Structures are given as C-alpha cells and as structure tokens.
Amino acid sequence: MNANYPIVFLISVLLTVIFTLLVKYLAGRFNIVDKPVLDRKIHKVSVPLLGGLAIFLAFFIMLYFTRGSLLAGNLEVHHWLGFFIGACLLMVGGFLDDKYNLKPSWQFIFPVLASLAVVAGGVEIGKITNPLGGFLYLDQWKIPITEWGGATRYFVVLSDLLIILWLLGMMYTTKLLDGLDGLVSGLGAIGGIIIFLFTITTKYYQPDIGLAALIFSACCLGFLFFNWHPAKIFLGEGGSLLLGFVLGVLAIISGGKIAIALLVMGIPILDVVWTIIRRLAAGKNPFKFADRGHLHFRLLDLGLGQRKTVLVFYLLAAVFGISGLFLQSLGKVLALLVLFVIMSVLVIGFSYVDRKKA
C-alpha cells in the first residue's frame, strides 16, 4: 500500500483536473455562475459554480477503485455507503441552490439529511478521550430502531447526536468560510494530509482511512489549480458543504479524532461562532444575513490581498494541525486554547479599530 500512495495521489489530482475542466464548461454552458451583483462580492466577472461536483466525482471514483484497501480496515460497506449517500444529497442540494438560489431554510435540509445518512450507515463514536485521563463512553444510551436480518439497529443517543452536530458544524464552517479564492479547497487539502499523516503512524495505524484522506487531499489540490486567485471556478454551495462534510466524517472514522480536525479548522470554526454571535446580537438571522465581518474579509480590508490572506489561514491550519500529530490529549486542549486566545485577540483588535473609525 505505501508504495502506491504517490501513484494514487497523482491519479486523484489528474482525475480532478479533468472533471474540473468538464464541470467548468458545463456550468458556463448552462449559465450556472456566480455573478458579482452584491457589494460583498469581490470578483469582478461571472465565475462558474458547481466546482464541488468535480471533487465529489474524482474522490468517490478513486474510493471505488481502491475499495479493496478501504474494506480491509475496520469499516464495512454500509459505513462507506452512508458516507457516499450523504455526499450525494449535498451535491443535489448544491446544484439546486447554485441554479435556483434556494432559501436558507431549504438549504439547511440537505446538510441535515447528509448527516443522518452517515448515522444511518452505522458510523458511531463509542468513546472520546478525556483530557484528564481515561475515556468518556458515548454508547451507554441506546434506542432500538429496527431489526435487519435478526440484528437490532440502535439509535445511539449521545454518539449519533454528537455526529450530527459535529458534521453540521463542519459543513457550515466551510460554507461560511468560502469567501476567498482557494481558501476552503486549500484548507481541505491541508486537513486531508494531516489526517493521512495521523492515520499512518504506528500508534494510530489505519491505512484505509489514511488512503481515503490522501485521495481527498489530492482532489482538493487538483481543484485548487483552478480555484487559486484569480479563480476560474468556484466550489458552489454543494462543494463548500462537501469539504466540511468529508473532513468531518474522516475525523470521526479515524477513531473519533475530532481534536485533529479542530486544530486544522480551529480559527475558521471560531470565526463562524463569533459571526453567529455578532449577527444574533445585532438582531440578524446569522444564516440569512451576510456581511464582510468574517475574519478573512477583515484581513483583506487591511490590505493583505486575497493570496496573502489565504496563506495566513493555510499557515495556521498547517502549524496547529501538525502540532496535533505530536501532542497528547491535554496538549491538544492547550493548543485549542491558544487558538481561542489568538481569535479573541483578533476580535478585540478589530472591534477597537471599528470604534476608532466610528
């Protein structure tokens, strides 16, 4: 398997490039484009959408052709099937939104269904590490749902609720973060590489999950060639949700290593939390109301430019993600606290600047 990693990576990149060119042509042909009609839009010309479809196709086609290696691990076919169905639902919802501009209430349906598909596929979190020592077990409360071939299927209350909330949080983080060229696709590539490195170490050896993460990273990189500033194609609604969804699922099936994904996506997640709080405090619906208060827009307004702003996010994700490979549970908690402090300083700093301007 190790000898095949470079080959699988290159094929995944090339396949994504091919699909991106195809999707770019079709999106332009059928006028599924993002037009610069709003003040917060920073691109000057119409840009094709649906880019996430290219990543989706390349990723799951590569998973299919490497299925022998994937099924050699602890996951069964039904786990991967739930993952695939959830991604399909996001693609359907994303296409409808990119084409018809759905209301936020309709947009929300597809991420919820995607999360439920993962749970229905049997993905569970049996336990999570307690930073103070030992484990916290989440499989104590179960509700029987139905019987399949004599085996009872359970709704594992804490586990399934945590998975649904986690996946929704990750999806809406990447959705709301998708405001600069290459930002989300680059973070997806970094997140995939970090999970790959984590799962091929001796202590946490899971080559099946590592292979899936490597393919995902390669697909994001293949798309990034076209999504880097100035972008030739955008992820679109489905794509921006898909990248958070895949990262979220990979973090769970790699043994519930949510802390690793939190370290990679820590600043974006905190930015989304702050954005929701800020909009609610202003009496606005956080999912309907859009503004330029996101951290990436604030950095852009400071004069960094799109490429430098995106590179700042890449650097933070890489540094804290790699640190997670070497830290134990308590160390990861401390690293997350450092991220919280960094975000707090930025929030206070920008609030001070706003008051000075007023």
Spatial CB neighbours of 116, under 8 Å, sequence gap ≥ 6: 86, 164
Is the pLDDT assigned to residue 219 strictly greater than 80? Answer: yes
Q: Of the ranges 30-39, 238-247, 262-271, 344-353, which is most confident?
A: 238-247
Least confident of 59-63, 264-268, 300-304: 300-304
Q: Do 197 and 264 touch, CB atoms closer than 8 A?
A: no
Burial of 204: CB neighbours in 10 Å, binned 0-12, 13-18, 19+: middle
Residue-level pLDDT at 149:
47
- Regarding predicted confidence, which is higher, 163 or 156? 163
The encoded tokens of residue 83 equal 């993952």
Over 70: is that where the pLDDT of 315 sits? Answer: yes
Say if 199 falls within a structural domain.
Answer: yes
On the CB side of 221, CA atoms within 13 Å amount to 17
Distances (CA, A) of 97 to 34, 107, 141: 11, 7, 37
Structural domain contains residue 341: no
Cα 199 from Cα 251, distance rounded (Å): 10
> Is 50 contained in some domain?
yes
Cβ-Cβ contacts under 8 Å for 202 (sequence gap 6 or more): none
Burial (CB count <10 Å: 0-12, 13-18, 19+), residue 68? exposed
pLDDT in tens, 94-127: 999 999 988 888 889 999 999 999 998 888 876 6
How far is the CA of 213 from the CAs of 181, 199, 238, in angstroms? 22, 9, 19
Q: What is the mean pLDDT of the chain?
A: 85
For residue range 73-96, list pLDDT tens digits in order: 888 899 999 999 999 999 999 999
In a domain, 107, yes or no: yes
The boundaries of the domain holding residue 140 are 2-257
Residue with the bigger pLDDT between 298 and 115: it is 115
Q: Say if 279 falls within a structural domain.
A: no
Distance CA 185, CA 325 (A): 22
What percent of the chain is helix, strand and coil (3-state, nearest 5)?
A: 70, 5, 25
Greater pLDDT, 143 or 312: 312
Angle between helices 329-357 and 266-281 (to 10 degrees): 40
Q: Is residue 335 part of a domain?
A: no
Query: Is the bond into 144 cis (omega within 30 degrees of 0)?
Result: no
Alpha-carbon distances, residue 186 vs 17, 72, 108, 136, 240 (angstroms): 15, 29, 24, 33, 12
The confidence band for 289, taking pLDDT boundaries of 50, 70 and 90, is low
Q: Confirm whether 303 is domain-assigned.
A: no
Mean pLDDT in residue range 53-63: 97
Which is nearest to 70 in space by CA: 206, 200, 193, 216?
206
If DSSP states are collapsed to H, E and C, what string results for 154-196?
EEEHHHHHHHHHHHHHHHHHHHHHCCCCCHHHHHHHHHHHHHH
User: pLDDT-derived band of residue 164, with 50, 70 and 90 as boundaries?
Assistant: very high
pLDDT of 135 reads 59
Report the number of distinct structural domains present in the chain: 1
**pLDDT on residue 134:** 59
Q: Which of 70-74, 244-248, 318-322 has the lowest mean pLDDT?
A: 70-74
**Average pLDDT estimate for 313-327:** 89
Please compute the mean of the pLDDT values over residues 151-180 and round it to a whole number. 81
Please determine, for residue 152, whether its predicted confidence score (pLDDT) is greater than 60.
Answer: no
Could you tell me which of 246, 238, 244 has the C-alpha nearest to residue 91? 238
pLDDT tens, position by position, 228-273: 999 999 999 999 999 999 999 999 987 657 888 888 888 888 888 8
The reported pTM is: 0.89
Q: What is the pLDDT of residue 114?
A: 97
* Cα–Cα distance, 248 to 171 (Å, whole number): 8
Whether 115 is in a domain gets the answer: yes
- Cα–Cα distance, 27 to 214 (Å, whole number): 27
Q: With H, G, I as helix, E, B as strand and everything else as coil, classify residue 207.
A: helix
The closest alpha carbon to 294, from 35, 105, 90, 42, belongs to 42
Mean pLDDT of 26-54: 84
User: Rounded distance, CA 187 to CA 319, Å?
Assistant: 12
Q: What is the pLDDT of residue 267?
A: 87
pLDDT bin (cut points 50, 70, 90) of residue 311 is very high
DSSP one-letter code for 231: P
Closest among 247, 266, 246 to 332, alpha carbons compared? 266
